[in-house]
Amino acid sequence: MALGFIKKVFTFGKDKPSADKPAEAEDFASLVDAAERIDAGETIEALPEAADPIAAEVIDTAGGPAADEAEPEVAPASAEPEITAATVEDEDFHPQPEQPADVTHAVLEPDEDNAVTLPKGFAATASRPEPEPEIPAVKLSWFQRLRQGLARTSSQLTGQIAALFTKRKLDEDTLEELEDLLIQADLGVETAMRVTGTLSSERYGKDVTGEDVSRIMAAEITKVLKPVARPLALDLSHKPHVILVVGVNGTGKTTTIGKLAAKLSGSGLKVMLAAGDTFRAAAIEQLKIWADRTGSTFLGTKLGADAAGLAYDAFEKARAEKSDVLIIDTAGRLQNKTELMAELEKIVRVLGKLDPDAPHTVLQTLDATTGQNAMNQVEIFRNIAGVNGLIMTKLDGTARGGILVAIAAKHKLPVYFIGVGEGVDDLEPFEAEDFAAAIAGLPH
Ligand SMILES: Nc1nc2c(ncn2[C@@H]2O[C@H](COP(=O)(O)OP(=O)(O)OP(=O)(O)O)[C@@H](O)[C@H]2O)c(=O)[nH]1
Ligand SMILES: [Mg+2]
């Protein structure tokens, strides 16, 4: 029995004793001998001391500091924790390798906050890089967003102009090429001719730089835009002043209504929003959210209901409640274009029954990323719904704002605001000089 136990203990986790390990073989033999004597009933004083096989291995393979450097002894990572009756009874017991009590600490310098304790066996070769200082998020100003939005148009244009006017005297060919460039940038024939005309009268036969052209271009664009950059006039004697918002789907009608409502109710006016886009359930919900957000009253109807009927009810209700402004949202898309136009016509007609001047403002939203197509949109909606004011949205995106200049030159409709983002405050009064500077790539 004693013999079996000793054999087991000695060989646990180890190779059997072999001729290569004479010291261990000798120990083993003497232990066996002692055990046989115990089994035979003999009393012996003490068992012979066995060499510690694990300690011997550590010394052989560590390759670490010499023994006289008094390196503290660390239990090998593979050492099993000792399981006692107490720990087994503990329900929460999870055997964990014990943390060596005395470990050399390597501390990264230089600053206290940056200090970190490395486990033994690691050395710091360089201190941890300083964390990047946090840069507070800076919201770009609306003009910076406008500049960014029009960057594609302006940088393409100014690049082409600079290339055209490198070491060239102003002649007929250059003027013609410049005119083409301006037309390609959607600015329209009229504005293009104004720019080349002014340039020709000022600098014909002389050296011209790209900056000269940009400056003249900005001045001419400003001249076209200035008469249309007007504030949205509200006749508050109407109670309510009715604003009908129309435009192709996705051009930003509903969002712009929300932004307008925020401005108006923020200045103390009583605003009502009416969900005249009965074509999409989400559109009704979207406007309701804007109404809640801006403290406006809201009138909606069920999906598919008659939009003109809703507009009529909203007008009556706004009157009864003495609202200052009623803004009516409309669909941008129906089953087909004919139906959409018929619906818009009907809304205008029905509102006119309550007040021959209503709707007092018919606002059309134009998406600045559309380019040339925006011109056709103005023509169509102007004829059907009597558009008398414009708002260009998404001028913060990859806008192609040149078309607004062409639209202004042709239709001479007031441009009240520009949208420079999706947020409630991202609606700015339209300023001719700013817009012209952004297109021409000049500073504010
Ligand atoms: N970046 C940017 N996005 C805008 C701007 N105005 C509107 N949008 C976004 O354009 C998308 C369409 O806007 P809506 O207001 O739903 O357009 P809508 O004309 O009402 O569209 P329909 O209801 O489908 O006819 C939304 O994701 C808006 O957040 C703007 O000035 N800048
Ligand atoms: Mg909408």
**Residues 222 and 300 placed together within one structural domain of the fold:** no
**Residues 244 and 389 placed together within one structural domain of the fold:** yes
Cα(254) to centroid(ligand 1), Å: 7
**CA-closest candidate to residue 396, choices 372, 422, 415, 370:** 422
**Residues 210 and 274 placed together within one structural domain of the fold:** no
Cα(433) to centroid(ligand 1), Å: 25
Residue 125 counted as domain residue: no
Cα(157) to centroid(ligand 1), Å: 27
Mutate to test the pocket of ligand 1, among 139, 367, 393 (most ligand atoms within 8 A of CB): 393
Residue nearest to ligand 1 atom 4, measured at CA: 422
**Residues 212 and 251 placed together within one structural domain of the fold:** no
Which range of residues forms the domain containing residue 216?
142-227
Residue 269 counted as domain residue: yes
From the CA of 250, give the closest atom in ligand 1: 21
φ, ψ at 389 (rounded to 5°): -170, 150
Cα(332) to centroid(ligand 2), Å: 7
**Residues 315 and 398 placed together within one structural domain of the fold:** yes
| CB-side neighbour CA atoms (13 Å) of 289 | 9
The residues pairing with 118 across neighbouring beta strands, listed in sequence order, are 106
Domain closes at, from 227, 245, 269: 227
**Residues 51 and 159 placed together within one structural domain of the fold:** no
Q: Residue 315 above 80 pLDDT?
A: yes
Q: Residue 118 above 70 pLDDT?
A: no
**Residues 316 and 407 placed together within one structural domain of the fold:** yes
**Residues 310 and 408 placed together within one structural domain of the fold:** yes
Which of the ligands is closest to the CA of residue 255?
Answer: 1
Instruction: Look at residue 336 in the predicted model and tell me its pLDDT.
Output: 79
Residue 101 counted as domain residue: no
Residue nearest to ligand 1 atom 14, measured at CA: 252
**Residues 263 and 373 placed together within one structural domain of the fold:** yes
Domain closes at, from 15, 49, 69: 69
Q: Residue 163 above 80 pLDDT?
A: yes
Instruction: Look at residue 167 in the predicted model and tell me its pLDDT.
Output: 67
Cα(261) to centroid(ligand 2), Å: 15
From the CA of 332, give the closest atom in ligand 1: 25
Angle at 262 between CA 257 and CA 268, to 5 degrees: 125
Which of the ligands is closest to the CA of residue 250?
Answer: 1
Strands 361-367 and 297-299: unpaired
Contact residues of ligand 1, CB 6 A cut-off: 247, 249-255, 277, 283, 332, 365, 393-394, 396-397, 419-422, 426
Instruction: Look at residue 326 in the predicted model and tell me its pLDDT.
Output: 98
**Residues 291 and 251 placed together within one structural domain of the fold:** yes
Cα(254) to centroid(ligand 2), Å: 4
Mean pLDDT of 151-172: 85
SS3 24: helix
Domain closes at, from 205, 227, 249: 227
From the CA of 419, give the closest atom in ligand 1: 31
Q: Is the pLDDT higher at 42 or at 257?
A: 257
Asked whether the beta carbons of 186 and 404 are under 8 A apart, the reply is no
**pLDDT tens digits for 361-408?**
999 999 999 988 999 999 999 999 999 999 999 998 778 889 999 999
Which of the ligands is closest to the CA of residue 396?
Answer: 1
**pLDDT tens digits for 237-262?**
888 999 999 999 999 999 999 999 99
Mutate to test the pocket of ligand 1, among 246, 334, 422, 428 (most ligand atoms within 8 A of CB): 422
Cα(330) to centroid(ligand 2), Å: 7
Question: How many of the other CB atoms lie within 10 Å of CB of 308?
Answer: 20
Please count the structural domains in the chain: 3
Question: How many of the other CB atoms lie within 10 Å of CB of 207?
Answer: 11
Cα(80) to centroid(ligand 2), Å: 69
CATH code at 201?
1.20.120.140
Residue 103 counted as domain residue: no
User: What residues have CB less than 8 Å from 306, skipping those under 6 apart?
Assistant: 278
**pLDDT tens digits for 48-74?**
444 443 333 333 333 333 444 444 444
- Residue 359 binned pLDDT confidence (cut-offs 50, 70, 90): very high
**How many angstroms separate the CA atoms of 16 and 14, rounded?**
6
